[in-house]
Structure 1
Amino acid sequence: TARAPRPTPRAGRPGRSVPVRLRIPAIGVDTPVIRLGLAADGTVEVPPITADDRAGWYRYSPPPGSTGPSVILGHVTVGDHGDGVFRHLGRLRRGDRIEARLENGTAPRFTVRSVRTVAKADFPTEAVYGAVGRPELRLITCGGPRSGGEYRDNVIVFAAPDPPHP
Structure 2
Amino acid sequence: MLPRSRAARLAIPYLDLDAPVMDLRLDSRRRLPAPPEDDPHLVGWYADGPSPGGPGTAVAVGHLDTDTGPAVFSGLSELGKGRRIEIRRADGRTAVYTVDRIKSYEKSHFPDREVYGDRGRPELRLITCGGTFDRRAGYSGNLVVFAHLTQIREPTGPPR
Whole-angstrom CA distance in 2 between matches of 1:164 and 1:27: 21
Give the structure 2 partner of residue 124 of structure 1.
Answer: 111
| SS across alignment from 1:101 | strand
- Work out whether residues 5 and 52 of structure 2, in 8 Å CA contact, stay in contact via their aligned partners in 1: no
Query: Among the aligned pairs, what percent are the same residue?
Result: 40
* Deviation per residue, 1:94-117 (Å, 9 max, x gap): 011110000000001011000001
- Work out whether residues 50 and 81 of structure 1, in 8 Å CA contact, stay in contact via their aligned partners in 2: no
Q: Quickly say closer, same or farther: Cα 1:51–1:45, change in 2 above 3 A.
A: closer
- Work out whether residues 34 and 57 of structure 1, in 8 Å CA contact, stay in contact via their aligned partners in 2: yes
1:143 aligns with 2:130: yes
* Deviation per residue, 1:7-33 (Å, 9 max, x gap): xxxxxxxx7201000000112210000
Q: Give me the TM-score of the superposition, normalised by structure 2.
A: 0.88
Structure 2 unaligned spans of 5+: 154-160
* Deviation per residue, 1:27-48 (Å, 9 max, x gap): 2210000000012322112100
Give the structure 2 partner of residue 154 of structure 1.
Answer: 142
Give the structure 2 partner of residue 21 of structure 1.
Answer: 9
Runs of 4+ in 1 over 3 A off after TM superposition: none
Structure 1 unaligned spans of 5+: 1-14
* Deviation per residue, 1:116-135 (Å, 9 max, x gap): 01101111101122122111
Q: Quickly say closer, same or farther: Cα 1:39–1:93, change in 2 above 3 A.
A: same
Over the aligned positions, Cα root-mean-square deviation in angstroms equals 1.6
Whole-angstrom CA distance in 1 between matches of 2:123 and 2:46: 14
Task: Quote the offset at 1:164 in angstroms.
Answer: 6.4
Q: Give me the TM-score of the superposition, normalised by structure 1.
A: 0.85
Q: What is the correspondence of 1:14-163 to structure 2 with a 5 Å cutoff?
A: 16-51=4-39, 53-78=41-66, 80-147=67-134, 148-163=136-151
The amino acid across from 1:135 in the alignment is P
Q: Which moved more, 1:155-164 or 1:62-71?
A: 155-164
